[in-house]
Structure 1
Amino acid sequence: MNHLSSPAVTVILPILNEEADLGNCISAILQQDYAGELEIILALGPSKDKTNQIASELAARDKRIKLVDNPTGQTAKGLNLAIKASSFEIICRIDGHSEISNSYLKTAISIMQETGAVNVGGLMHADSQSGLQRTIAQAMRSKLGVGASKFHTGGKAGPSDTVYLGTFKKSAILAAGGFDERYIRAQDWELNHRMRAQGGLIWFDPRLVVTYRPRKSLSKLAKQYFQYGRWRRVISRQHPKTTNFRYLAPPIALVINSLSVVLGVFVAPIFLVPVLIYVALLIIGGVIIGRKIADKLLMSIVFATMHLSWGAGFITSPKKLFKN
């Protein structure tokens, strides 16, 4: 790729139950300030809402939008089906509940050409203006909520283990064997791991901002983070050398807090100290990080939901979850 080229790009999206956000998401892709040719491939899962109807209407209006059927609804399968149907060497992955700025593709291609990376990506900017979703978004952008992960909290541009979504060279994806369909979650991390093992460069750049709409309820947030924890344990089993303290912190916190409560109630009140310190830390963090009064009040509950659900998922993750 020479520095002046605007190569053709295929944007791929695995889609399931996205009726609220799909229109805005596709509109943002179609409004890209990008000179190269563009196609959009939606891998449609078995949605229970009007997602597929909306997708069909969008495709009827713009011939650049193509639809492929993904009967399982699983993300990795949908991504592989979309890649298979793609026409171009540059693959940009977007999610149906996210939005990109109009310079996103141009910036991603420019970074790819400068660095020679096989995948470039940036920030997952959780954002919302409404109620609890707004509080959850703030928690997901904070180190107390998600640890020191660059693609959540920002950082300097440079090589990275993984990035959010990503703009890829299709040849590198195919050489690595595509997305591993055994992974229900964390399939992007796992593919990046294999591409790095082949000598490919994964590059993080904070200029690549993707607006992400988080879950709207504590129960959905808990379910999401429980699944994250379960699949991070799968990765720890498959790739033990990649486990670090950031991944072990939530399960350790869950064990220590549970022991603290049990021993504090049944043995002596002094054992309650660890759980009280943890709660105080979350409350103080919530007051500092929360923007509005409601956020400050709810933030500690959101933090606890994220940490403890993730920890519970990690601890209870069964070996049979991953089919060797």
Structure 2
Amino acid sequence: MTPLETPLPGVSYVMPVLNEERDIRSAVESLVAQDYQGPFEILLALGPSVDRTNDVVAEMSAADPRIRSLANPVGSTPAGLNVAIRASVHPVTVRVDAHSVLPTDYTRLAVAALQRSGADNVGGIMKAEGRTPFEKAVARAYGSRVGLGGTPHHVGGVEGPTETAYLGVFLRSRLIEVGLFDEGIKRGQDWELNRRLRATGGTVWFTPDLVVTYRPRPSIRKLVRQFVATGLWRGELARRFPKANTVRYLVPPVMVISVLLGLLLGLIGLAAAVVGSPLAWASLGLAAPGVYLLFVVAAALLAARGESVRTRLWFLVVLPSIHFGWGFGFVFGFSSLTKNITAHTGR
């Protein structure tokens, strides 16, 4: 009988941590509070934080020996995950994010799904929940098709095989077998790892039974930075693996180019109309940004309905920030400029 065939195989929670003083305690407490009855350990890979994150982790480790901290001098997400996975001892690896809060039944349902499906990795839904009007606007964008494209791990769907999964509950042996996370990929490393799992005969499994609470970035600056970095690496991955591209990935960059080109042509056309030039027809280009503006307003009315006025107003800012941040990032990431830019985009 393999370890996974036992009723309650041991699980190792692995979490890269960097500057997460605000959220780290609630994230770890949600792991300790799991109703799973099997043995577990919590491995926190600590990057070079500049806030009190490491002090908070030290306090938790002193109070509970099942919480262990490990050094992650590189500070990146894939490096931290690999540090923690290598140090883990249990056959099931549960990836956790410092911005996530797991419901108490998460591990129990995830292990059951692994055993039921025979998959190498199981994931569920990222349910974004905000605390401020700005964060609530971001959460609404995350959970709507107009925000992040309507993938199952954002809006839900039918249980079954999938391309990738949010966070992930893995067979540790398969992680080791395919070489762990690629530390050269700072964002999108989960998609790339799942690609290797599938390419070597494995299965990635989605189940709507798993719902993880995710805390959005608390400011517009951090949100834009997040999506520019995500877009950069998505563009890089699209360049590395062109056969894996889908229309969903291409919509934001096409939208960004269309809106900017339309705006440029429109301004040229307006200037031409003033001087009586035949190029006045170019003002029709303003239709592109005009249509996008109407789309954003309609999305705010529909996707953010039921929210406060402040949240809906923030939605008008949040949605373009996500689209343009991701779209600009993708364009640069797909170009040869990627290697020069991604080094400065953080985790």
TM-score (norm. length: structure 2): 0.90
**Mapped partners of 2:83, 2:159: distance in 1:** 31
Determine whether 1:320 maps to 2:339.
yes
Shift in Å, 1:30: 0.3
Determine whether 1:286 maps to 2:288.
no
Equivalent AA in structure 2 for residue 275 of structure 1? P
Counterpart of 2:56 in structure 1 is: 54
Q: Please list every run of 5 or more consecutive structure 2 residues that lacks an aligned counterpart in the other structure.
A: 270-281
**Mapped partners of 2:214, 2:99: distance in 1:** 6
**Mapped partners of 1:4, 1:197: distance in 2:** 27
Shift in Å, 1:89: 1.0
**Mapped partners of 2:62, 2:159: distance in 1:** 39
Taking the TM superposition and a 5 Å limit, the aligned residue runs for 1:206-245 are 206-245=208-247
Which of residues 25, 28, 34 in structure 2 aligns to 1:32? Answer: 34
Deviating runs (4+, > 3 A) in structure 1?
1-4
Shift in Å, 1:166: 0.6
**Mapped partners of 1:105, 1:174: distance in 2:** 21
Equivalent AA in structure 1 for residue 299 of structure 2? G
Percent of aligned pairs with the same amino acid: 39
Q: Residues 289 and 296 of structure 1 are in contact (CA less than 8 Å); yes or no, is this contact kept in structure 2?
A: no
Secondary structure (helix, strand or coil) at the match of 1:312 reads helix
Counterpart of 1:105 in structure 2 is: 107
Counterpart of 2:273 in structure 1 is: none
Determine whether 1:85 maps to 2:87.
yes
Determine whether 1:300 maps to 2:320.
no
**Mapped partners of 1:21, 1:271: distance in 2:** 45
Determine whether 1:271 maps to 2:257.
no
Equivalent AA in structure 1 for residue 317 of structure 2? I
Shift in Å, 1:298: 2.3
Which of residues 5, 17, 20 in structure 2 aligns to 1:18? Answer: 20
User: Which stretch shifts more, 247-256 or 310-319?
Assistant: 310-319
Secondary structure (helix, strand or coil) at the match of 1:168 reads strand
User: Which stretch shifts more, 43-52 or 313-322?
Assistant: 313-322
**Mapped partners of 1:112, 1:27: distance in 2:** 24
Counterpart of 1:8 in structure 2 is: 10
**Mapped partners of 1:172, 1:234: distance in 2:** 25
Per-residue CA shift, 1:176-212, capped at 9, x if unaligned?
1110000011111100000000111100111111111
**Mapped partners of 2:154, 2:312: distance in 1:** 20
Counterpart of 2:272 in structure 1 is: none
Which of residues 121, 124, 127 in structure 1 aligns to 2:126? Answer: 124
Number of residue pairs aligned between Structure 1 and Structure 2? 323
Taking the TM superposition and a 5 Å limit, the aligned residue runs for 1:180-259 are 180-259=182-261
Per-residue CA shift, 1:218-259, capped at 9, x if unaligned?
111111110111000111111110111111111100000001
**Mapped partners of 2:35, 2:72: distance in 1:** 30
Equivalent AA in structure 2 for residue 164 of structure 1? Y
Equivalent AA in structure 2 for residue 250 of structure 1? P
Q: Please list every run of 5 or more consecutive structure 1 residues that lacks an aligned counterpart in the other structure.
A: none
Q: Residues 232 and 338 of structure 2 are in contact (CA less than 8 Å); yes or no, is this contact kept in structure 1?
A: no
Per-residue CA shift, 1:262-284, capped at 9, x if unaligned?
11111243221111011101101
**Mapped partners of 2:315, 2:133: distance in 1:** 12
**Mapped partners of 1:150, 1:16: distance in 2:** 28
RMSD, aligned CA: 1.4
Cα gap change, 1:298/1:114 in structure 2, threshold over 3 Å: closer, same or farther?
same
**Mapped partners of 2:239, 2:53: distance in 1:** 36
Shift in Å, 1:300: 2.3
